[in-house]
Amino acid sequence: MNKKDKVWYACYGSNLCADRFKYYIVGGDCLYNGKHYDGCEDKTMWTESRVRRFKGDLYFANVSRFWGGKGVAFFDPDGTGTVIMRLYQITYGQFLDVQQQEGPLPNWYGRTVLLGADETGIPIYTFTSAQRGLPNPPADQYLAVIREGLVNGCGIGEAEVNAYLQSAIE
């Protein structure tokens, strides 16, 4: 695949919030967690976003020093539930740059998953860990960013968001 080819990046954690995700594209000091991001080589903002649900499980694991030593979101494509994802149309090169900034280690976000394609054939990709990590509940601040993305960015109602996130933590 060419770095300039369009893809859909399907996210399920704090990047559900567009204001948070933009730091991965353009760089800067993130207002949400204080971390500095270099941004992508191509800093062109996405042109479109959509919301889709995919088979799998959302869970929280690992220890993030940028989120108070608490867990962060991961996607288990072999799970039996449903995961709400926000898709951003970016280039394949930007997708690789975002993955690099997220941490491409096997126990972080080193596994690329092809979720299918849209109606025009543009592939939908996400990334997650190579294997399910030890559960670690998320920090309230991290959950607030995900909640903002689900409610304001994805148009999901508060009651559904609360139940969805609670089931991922348990």
CATH number (domain holding residue 79): 3.10.490.10
- Answer whether residue 121 is part of any domain: yes
Residue 56 tokens read as: 């799998």
pTM: 0.95
Residues 50-87 as b/e (b if ≥16 CB within 10 A, e otherwise) read: ebbebebbbbbbbebeebeebbbbbbbeeeeeebbbbb
Pick from 43, 40, 48, 52: which is nearest to 6 by CA? 48
Number of domains in the chain: 1
Q: Is the residue at 159 inside a domain?
A: yes
On whether the CB atoms of residues 92 and 70 are closer than 8 A, the answer is: no
Residue 15 lies in a domain: yes
The boundaries of the domain holding residue 77 are 6-169
Residue 1 included in any domain: no
Q: What is the pLDDT along the chain (170 residues), one digit of tens a residue?
A: 899 999 999 999 999 999 999 999 999 999 999 999 999 999 999 989 999 999 999 999 999 999 999 999 999 999 999 999 999 999 999 999 999 999 999 999 999 999 999 999 999 999 999 999 899 999 999 999 999 999 999 999 999 999 999 999 98
